[in-house]
Chain A
Amino acid sequence: MKFVISSSELLSHLLAISRVISTKNTLPILDNFLFKLEGKDLEITASDLETTLTTGLSVENASESGSIALPARILTETLKEFAEQPLTFDINTETMAVVIISENGQFNIVGQKGIDYPKLPELKEEKKTALLMSPEVLLQGIAKTLFATADDELRPVMNGIFMEMFTDKINFVASDAHKLVRYTRTDAKAEAEASFILPKKPASLLKSILPKEENQVSIEFDDKNAFFTLSDFKLVCRLVEGNYPSYNSVIPKDNPHKLNIDRVELYNSLKRVSVFSNQASNLVKLQLTGNQLTVSAQDIDFSISANERLNCQYDGEDMEIGFKSVFLIEILANLSSQEVVVELSDPSRAGILLPVERDNDDEDVLMLLMPMMIGN
């Protein structure tokens, strides 16, 4: 097996997929990239068993097809130090000895048999669903919701993005039981109702490779795995098994009190005031009276406190509600509209944050935040 490849092109492909490789692998072979040569097409794969990302590129002077697993760390670290130049990979498929010949020298490494590399799962035909989605929809769906996913070993279903497909829309939902985001796109649809829970890691990988994508993304999945096929990449991941909690029932329907406020102003104010909140609880209180919002925080242990008054449009009863400042700040940072509406009902019920103007006519964003129980 032999081929010639541009060092920088190889590096950029390797870096794109190397994020899959986990630092704590159960199988030693997973510390390798799998190189598979067929004619002039080289396919490189990285995997952590749960998620597998494959990229393809074409090489020069290829001879002999075959596959080999090459140590990932050595490869990326040496390639980073090369100036752009052609590299010749000369692989002895018998001994697994690899010689990389550069302009000025040669590097010898030993690979492992490609056949030992874990195989990709296959989709069950009878349970398979397939659809095409525009990369922009998928990217937005992931980008808007990823921050709200949980990190909870006890509730694994919450550690991913719930993609709920209907014949007229697609919902992306994420929640860690304190905050919830529902991002709906009506310009994307499936042929039949279906859903899956995409784990965090493949979601964030997709988030990093999608911006460059120009063609429709093909998504195929069954009850266990999902395949995302892009022009240059193919991502296969194990899905989170289990039922996503019925999130619709916990979104309060009737929120009589509405607060209209400049998003950036509120965000900046929270950033300042939250410095004074207790570091463990991060509690900030929002007090609404007439058309004035008072944001306040205090840390009794250090005798520090802060409050700021903001003008707003408020339509409802006077009330005081407490939120975890980090959550509220995160939500405001993930909304893009200039002005937001905060819908409230009472201090022990969730507050809903909605953008006033939308980026796109086909989208609908709803962010929800559970309050903290502040004593009376």
Chain B
Amino acid sequence: MRDNKRQIIHFDLDSFFVSAERLQNSKLVAKPVLIGGTSDRGVVSSCSYEARRFGVHSAMPMKMARRLCPDAIIIRGDMELYSKYSNMVTDIIAEKAPLYEKASIDEHYIDISGMDHFFNSLKWTRELRSSIIKNTGLPVSFGLSVNKTVSKIATGEAKPNGELEVPPGLEKYFLSPLSISKIPMLGHKSYRLLRSLGLTNIHSLSMLPVEIMERLMGKNGIAIWKKANGIDNSPVIHYHERKSISTEKTFDKDSTDIKRLNEILVSMIEKVSFRLRKQQKLTSCITVKIRYSNFDTHSIQKRIPYTSFDHVLIETAKELFKKLYSRRMLIRLIGVRLSHLVQGVQQLDLFEDRPEMAKLYMSMDHIRKRYGKDAVKRAVGVRDMQSPSPHNGSKEKHDPGECFENRVLKGSIYH
């Protein structure tokens, strides 16, 4: 009963990164645009609808995308800019919506259950959408339905720059003809598995007994089956506690240069621990990950006392890396992840933390907050930034919502 009364909107910004770039540079309008790592080994993180026509899609290797669409304009991406636009959209939604959830940098869920007593839900949502378009200039689509899954699928159908309402009771009618690939969180492998069983549309999947799905794919199978039947009771949660902060880097060329790898590790830790401190969080678990050139991926983690200090984390990361890198094989990717986060600020240690050091951290963070996160950093990591060639093409991937490599040093404090 309660479920029928819910009204959930899913807002999704159309090819968000491209739209944001277009606002900066109008020459990009109506042209195929690819955003992502610019080297051959990078991947496409966003592409314009013009590029999609050539068969390009996100997460495709850049090399392949370039071959499919040689005329495309390739842009490296500017996460700070995208965050700024994303926050503008969030602010507009926050002002009007009773309960919203920022699901990623370009997606929002809004729960407007009960508001239909006072407003026409669709009209209200339309007004919100036009307000976003008017104030930010970003194209946005929405789906309005009874739960998050159906709304999200509806948005997918409404795109680009459209809207779609799936009224209560008509979810199954709406879902049935769609391909099973439209189900959110259905991965490539699961898709292949289901297709091999002859399941093409959501209707056929929903008709399958749930027990078979469970036997086939375990718990995940039940979740997918529920989605296919338009059942999703997950609430719109205003605030998502971030579980971890991580970063990783794929090299242009696989490497065994231990010194260089350690330097990269240091600069990566510096970056993640600054993010930790900016969010006033402490970590108690650090994980280091490497991927060998044959795609064998290994990781190792260690519990540590709560901290947000670079020097503690760097020491631990180096130690872990030393332990982890056991095979004399080229490394393709290196990553670090900080987890078991708690809200809080660093309690200083009487014997280990000198007051000068605490002040140094505070001043460095102050500079970074004011002049950008690359304004000051450890010298070992600087090489990365100043010599443009061998490394600037490398791809970095962050948590959803963060992203990419930071760009060239914007200006140092010593100017």
Chain A interface (Cβ within 8 Å of chain B)? Answer: 175, 177-180, 245, 247, 250, 278, 280-281, 283, 300-301, 322, 324, 346, 348-350, 368, 370-376
Contacts of A324 in B (CB 8 A): 347
B296 within 8 A of A: no
3 A-B pairs with least C-beta separation = A281-B344, A348-B358, A280-B342
Contacts A281-B342, A373-B358 given; indicate if A245 touches B347 (C-beta within 8 A): no
B101 within 8 A of A: no
B355 within 8 A of A: yes
In the complex, what residue of chain B is closest to A278 when comparing beta carbons? B343
The prevalent SS among residues of A at the interface is loop
Contacts of B348 in A (CB 8 A): 178, 348, 350, 370-373
On whether the beta carbons of B359 and A348 are closer than 8 Å, the reply is: yes
Chain B interface (Cβ within 8 Å of chain A)? Answer: 239, 277, 280, 282, 342-353, 355, 358-359, 361-362, 365-366
Q: List 15 A-B contacts (CB under 8 A).
A: A177-B352, A245-B351, A283-B345, A322-B345, A350-B348, A350-B350, A370-B350, A371-B348, A372-B344, A372-B346, A372-B347, A373-B348, A373-B362, A375-B280, A376-B362
| A280, A283, A348, A368 interface centre (most CB from chain B within 10 Å) | A348
**In the complex the two chains form, what is the Cα distance from A252 to B344 in whole Å?**
25
**In the complex the two chains form, what is the Cα distance from A371 to B345 in whole Å?**
10
Q: Smallest distance from the beta carbon of A319 to chain B beta carbons, Å?
A: 14
Contacts of B350 in A (CB 8 A): 175, 177-180, 247, 250, 350, 368, 370
Contacts of A350 in B (CB 8 A): 348, 350
Contacts of A247 in B (CB 8 A): 350
Contacts A349-B355, A376-B362 given; indicate if A178 touches B344 (C-beta within 8 A): no
Q: Smallest distance from the beta carbon of A265 to chain B beta carbons, Å?
A: 25
Contacts of B345 in A (CB 8 A): 281, 283, 322, 372-375
**In the complex the two chains form, what is the Cα distance from A368 to B359 in whole Å?**
19
Contacts of A281 in B (CB 8 A): 282, 342-345, 347
**In the complex the two chains form, what is the Cα distance from A283 to B306 in whole Å?**
15
**In the complex the two chains form, what is the Cα distance from A280 to B281 in whole Å?**
10
Q: A372-B345, A376-B362 are in contact. List 11 more A-B contacts (CB 8 A).
A: A177-B349, A180-B350, A280-B342, A281-B344, A301-B239, A348-B348, A348-B359, A368-B350, A370-B353, A375-B345, A375-B365
- Which of A177, A283, A349, A376 contacts B351 (CB under 8 A)? A177
| B277, B347, B353, B358 interface centre (most CB from chain A within 10 Å) | B347
In the complex, what residue of chain A is closest to B366 when comparing beta carbons? A376
In the complex, what residue of chain A is closest to B349 when comparing beta carbons? A177
Q: Smallest distance from the beta carbon of A53 to chain B beta carbons, Å?
A: 32
Contacts of B347 in A (CB 8 A): 178, 281, 324, 370, 372
